[in-house]
Structure 1
Amino acid sequence: MRPRLRHLVVVVPGIGGSVLHTADRAARWDEHRRRFVAAATRPHRLGLDAQPDLVPVGLLPDITLVGPFVTPGYDALVRGITRHFDGVRIDVARPGKPRDLQADLLLFPYDFRRGVQHAAARLAAEIADRLSGEHPSARHRRVIVVAHSLGGLVARHWLGPLGGAPQCAALITLGTPHRGAPKALDVLVNGLKVGPKRLSRLTDVLRQWPSVYELLPRYPAVGRPDGTPPLRPHELPAGDLLAPAFLTGAKAAFAVHQDIEAAWTDLDRPPDLTAVFGRGHATLQHALLSPGGLTLAKTSAPWLPNPSWLGDGTVPAISAVPLELGEDLRVRRAVPDRHLALPASATVLALLTEYAGDSLTAVRGDPPDRPWLGLDVDDTALSGTPVPVGVTLHGTPADERTRVRLRLRTADTTPPWQPCPRSGDTTWQTTLLPPGPGTYTLDVMATGIPVTSRLRTGEVLGVLDAEALGAES
């Protein structure tokens, strides 16, 4: 017999994971192909100056290409919950839509441009209204939040500074940059790039979004060549390197993180928190400041802890655990998944089953509990440009029988597997040339591993036409 959900499960997506419309129902951000073109060629329509109020109407269903972004999708998570648990009723927290107060699963889209505080205030009002409107016999229910990426910061702001903790039984964060991600620093300082092409107009739009600043590292991520202590982004010196609004946005974002951390430290009875995070994939870790600019690096910085952890390809593993809970091993759950695949991780169902009272005794701790493959690949590329791919075997040694193969497939075509040359004891490297613009799935498979028959991993790759983007060199 399938278990039932005891509490209201709320799914809070990451940045880019909500469908956004104008007030007159014109789509501005969704999974359709024409939105890809619009986001790429008319990015001003996503600017807060041109469109300060967009209406969140749903979650993106699948990992897909929107403009130059590969965005998350949540249908796999929703399907997993509805198949695993009995009698699940789904509702969407859409402004102006009547609420289903008997729903077991609430999907919470939000305007991801406007930042953590704005979304958290709406989340607080939504949950308060739903719980207060329940039938008296159901008021023992509380909330379990499953939050991906930026959504984890939204949830933590509701639970801490906005006082939502008594209403929440548990928070499960999936690749949330609790301590920020250097990828945001690269975009805000150096501009958004696809390969060698810089997307100036879209960069200007992203610099308007508070949410992007809130993804900045809140740890000292910027090293200096003179060996003096590294800097946090908001401590960078003003000058030609930084856009005028950068320091203002960075300081405001740092204050948001501090408010969250202080409020959680003061909670008498905080909700259970499990930070699910990916390990073993090449991920931007830090930056180096020089007179020539800011250079981002995937290598581990000597001043940062846990150099072997790497990350999920987007968020460093050291950032995916809240600062004030960093020494509590019980909150950590490392998995082999990459960032966009985390919502589909079986770990989510295992944790929800525990809270349903049918425990699977989910194992918490630092490393994944089985060998896995780490990837080093960008999720976007320009057509006609070779795509470097690196593969690393983690958790077990390789031997002379170990082979790695890969392929780029589309929804309509599945080409043969191609061998990936070995570059070290447990590493392989190659380059791929996508046949043209579009969305591809990179499949990677390793065989001949001593402790298991085979391992697989993958990533969605968006290949863009530079001329269609209007990109600048």
Structure 2
Amino acid sequence: MIVDVKDLIVVLPGIMGSVLEKNGRVIWNISGKSFLKSITSSEDLILQSDDHDDGVVATKIMEDFHIVPGIIKILDGYTKLQEQLLDGSLRLYPQSPNNQDLVNYYEFPYDWRRDNRISAQKLKQFIDERLENWRRQSEHKDAQVIILAHSMGGLVSRYYLEVLEGWRDCRALITFGTPYRGSVKAISAIVEGYNVAVFNFSEAVRSFTSVYQLLPIYEMFKTNGGYRRISEVDGIPNLDRERAVKAREFHQEIINNAEKNRRHDDWKTNGYVVLPFVGTRQSTYQSASLIDGQLQMSYNPPSSLPPELADGDDTVPRISAIPVEMEYQDYYNTFFPCHHGEIQANKNVLDLLKERIGQMQSQIDLSGFKGAERSAKAEAQIAFNLSVKDLYLSANPIEIYGQIINAEPSVTQLIAQIIPKTTQGEPITVELQPDGDYWKATVENLAAGVYEVQLSTPEIEVTPVRDLFEVA
């Protein structure tokens, strides 16, 4: 059955997920390419200030895989999401040369370097204009917007919804791995930077206001006095504490307005639904500390977090992928054991996404569609944990680590398939061997380029988990 979508659908990518141009020249497009070979200078990307206009514009979202080792790894780009939404099961009208007016499917690229407040203001203008046009052209006078946001795109959306009062026009915010409370991994991006071979991306990354707004806002930095917020700690190398404080204010502004909005008389009739898709079961940094002046990242959770919740999607901790105001509610199960860069392209996620969008077009009660919580069913799910580094030097072996969780009887075979993405060659299949708490395989002599790795077992039916790495 084809579902007639009366609402406006808007898709937002995550950080580094939009193509950027300056004066008509592409300065950022790593879609389907090796980062190290496609970007040779970061000078044009360095953010001098948060003025709205330095000549850089976002032109489209990334269609294919893209990787910046140590910062982001995105499988399939946003093409699979687009293909699933436009496969005909939902009656959507994308913009095309033959259809400029009757449009209810849009993608919103944005300048991901900047303060997310600026992108949110542009999103408001974008939605206001297009939603009014759709209501007029389609005669769906009660149409609202459904926002689909990956990663940092969810923070842009939340500011638009809560602070800029977009909630009055929104039916649902559906997020894929959004770091509502920040990501511990962002600390490493700022402190350690990015310097490989002759290419130094560190100055550019540290200049991005958005990267600071990805810092965790909860107590997870271990000090002699216990765990503290990153914005409360002095002396962290290369990290500007004043900018960290301002970044936390961005999050607090959203939290404060969310609390206020939910007390508003109109919320009961005009409030929107939040549906967070949460990646789990992957090894994910939970805390950090300074030892002899050096940053130490850790998978150990801060003392206030139960160990059974100390996982995530390899980038966003589980605890951060759910909005603050939803932490004590009962939610539908939207946990999926997959990586941050796959969750927006995961078949199981996309199947459920289309089902939920379809349900939103009917008159059924949506009060239950609120998000994700740890449930008995989710925790008993058979799942893989796949761990590879983002970047390997060609002289070093590739080490692949895996686990299978909740498999009874015990699985005796784990298989990794390595698929070249930027080089010629056939996929390589290797068998992992038990290695303590993990399974491990070592691969040598891979040519420089980007590779996808899939972890599976032939013994039981369970969805493989996927990730990317680059060889330099």
Q: TM-score over 0.5 for the alignment? A: yes
Under TM normalisation by the shorter chain, which class is it? 0.7 to 0.9
| Secondary structure of the structure 1 residue equivalent to 2:401 | strand
- Maintained 8 Å contact 2:35/2:67: no
CA distance, structure 2, for counterparts of residue 120 and residue 254 of structure 1: 17
CA distance, structure 2, for counterparts of residue 70 and residue 434 of structure 1: 24
CA distance, structure 2, for counterparts of residue 170 and residue 284 of structure 1: 29
Which residue is equivalent to 2:178?
176
CA distance, structure 1, for counterparts of residue 454 and residue 181 of structure 2: 30
* Percent identity over paired residues: 25
83 and 388 in structure 1: CA distance in 2 versus 1, 3 angstrom threshold = same
Which residue is equivalent to 2:226?
229
394 and 357 in structure 1: CA distance in 2 versus 1, 3 angstrom threshold = farther
Residue type at the aligned position of 2:311: L
1:105, distance to aligned residue in structure 2 (A): 1.2
- Maintained 8 Å contact 2:221/2:230: yes
CA distance, structure 2, for counterparts of residue 221 and residue 200 of structure 1: 31
Structure 2 residue 404 is the aligned partner of structure 1 residue 396? no
Aligned-residue RMSD, C-alpha: 2.9
Question: Which segments of 5 or more consecutive residues in structure 1 lack a partner in the other structure?
Answer: 465-473
The Cα offsets for residues 127-180 of structure 1, whole Å up to 9 and x where unpaired, read as 111122345422211000010000000000000011100100000110001011
- Maintained 8 Å contact 1:102/1:134: yes
CA distance, structure 2, for counterparts of residue 357 and residue 371 of structure 1: 33
The Cα offsets for residues 354-412 of structure 1, whole Å up to 9 and x where unpaired, read as 2233999989542267312111222332222223222121233352x521011212154
Which residue is equivalent to 2:130?
130
Which of 139, 146, 149 is residue 148 of structure 2 equivalent to?
146
- Maintained 8 Å contact 1:22/1:28: no
Which residue is equivalent to 1:265?
259
Matches within 5 A, 1:234-249: 234-237=231-234, 239=235, 241-243=236-238, 246-249=240-243
1:439, distance to aligned residue in structure 2 (A): 1.3
Which residue is equivalent to 2:361?
356
Structure 2 residue 73 is the aligned partner of structure 1 residue 78? no
Structure 2 residue 468 is the aligned partner of structure 1 residue 446? no
The Cα offsets for residues 208-242 of structure 1, whole Å up to 9 and x where unpaired, read as 10010010001111012x3x2311111111x3x43
- Of the structure 1 ranges 352-361 and 209-218, higher mean CA displacement relative to structure 2 is found in 352-361
| Secondary structure of the structure 2 residue equivalent to 1:83 | coil
- Of the structure 1 ranges 366-375 and 384-393, higher mean CA displacement relative to structure 2 is found in 366-375
Structure 2 residue 245 is the aligned partner of structure 1 residue 251? yes
Residue type at the aligned position of 2:108: F
Matches within 5 A, 1:329-340: 329-330=330-331, 333-340=334-341
The Cα offsets for residues 85-119 of structure 1, whole Å up to 9 and x where unpaired, read as 34422249xxxx99944212110000000131011
Question: Which segments of 5 or more consecutive residues in structure 2 lack a partner in the other structure?
Answer: none
CA distance, structure 2, for counterparts of residue 407 and residue 280 of structure 1: 20
352 and 395 in structure 1: CA distance in 2 versus 1, 3 angstrom threshold = farther
166 and 276 in structure 1: CA distance in 2 versus 1, 3 angstrom threshold = same
Q: How many residues align?
A: 446
Which residue is equivalent to 1:471?
none
Residue type at the aligned position of 1:115: D
Which residue is equivalent to 1:463?
471
| Secondary structure of the structure 1 residue equivalent to 2:354 | helix
Structure 2 residue 441 is the aligned partner of structure 1 residue 430? yes
Residue type at the aligned position of 2:78: Y
| Secondary structure of the structure 1 residue equivalent to 2:37 | helix
Which residue is equivalent to 1:469?
none
CA distance, structure 2, for counterparts of residue 424 and residue 153 of structure 1: 39
